[in-house]
């Protein structure tokens, strides 16, 4: 597993401590999916105090589910740091959105709130379709939503697509 691209996100709050190391932070933006409880947001806010914070809740990250995050990103300045909390799938999608808006990975801390949930997005290497919210483990199999091929979920995670790579399970046996 040394050469895997599977994210090594933490489920504890220590990821937040590394975020401000050696930097002048002017604001923290706490981005969480709706299912993240108020207690988690309060604990994260206390961890970054006394720096001003702004909390944003997002719905399903498919389509326009980012809500007020995009509006807030238009105001973002140097010195802002982002703490993203939620499921692995949501954290990956929000992280991708933040980076596409101009944030750099060093400005983002990820906290996975349900580390045991094996729901993930799978990108088909054959038809380039992303199957969303697939309940499958890495190494497991699932049908592609685009081409219906039986895909093996590989240990490669695309941060750009915020999805795991899926390839045809029978590709090595094909002529």
pLDDT at 40 over 70: yes
> CA dist 110 to 39, 60, 120, 153, Å?
17, 17, 16, 23
SS3 66: coil
Using a pLDDT cut of 90, give the percent of the chain over it. Answer: 25
Contact of 4 with 165, CB cutoff 8 Å: no
Cα–Cα distance measured from residue 53 to residue 122, given in angstroms and rounded to the nearest whole number? 33
Domain covering 14-112 assigned CATH 3.40.50 in the classification: yes
Domain boundaries, the chain: 14-112, 119-173
**Number of Cβ atoms within 10 Å of the Cβ of 41:** 17
pTM: 0.76
Mean pLDDT, the chain, integer:
83
For residue 1, pLDDT beyond 60: no
Q: What is the pLDDT of residues 103-142, one digit of tens each?
A: 988 899 988 887 666 788 999 999 999 998 899 988 999 9
Residue of 150 and 40 predicted with greater confidence: 150
**Contact at 8 Å (CB) between 76 and 101?**
yes
């Amino acid at each position: 597993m040394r050469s895997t691209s599977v994210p090594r996100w933490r489920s504890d709050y220590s990821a937040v401590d590394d975020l401000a190391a050696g930097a002048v932070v002017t604001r923290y933006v706490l981005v969480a999916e709706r299912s993240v409880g108020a207690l988690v947001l309060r604990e994260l806010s206390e961890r970054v105090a006394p720096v001003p914070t702004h909390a944003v809740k997002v719905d399903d990250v498919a389509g326009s589910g980012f809500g007020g995050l995009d509006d807030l990103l238009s105001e973002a300045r140097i010195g802002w740091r982002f703490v993203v909390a939620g499921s692995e799938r949501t954290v990956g999608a929000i992280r991708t959105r933040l980076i596409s808006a101009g944030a750099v990975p060093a400005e983002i801390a990820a906290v996975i709130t349900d580390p045991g949930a094996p729901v993930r997005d799978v990108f088909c290497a054959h038809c380039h379709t992303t199957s969303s919210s697939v309940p499958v483990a890495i190494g497991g199999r699932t049908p592609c939503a685009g081409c219906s091929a039986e895909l093996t979920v590989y240990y490669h995670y695309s941060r750009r697509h915020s999805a795991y790579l899926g390839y045809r399970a029978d590709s090595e046996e094909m002529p």
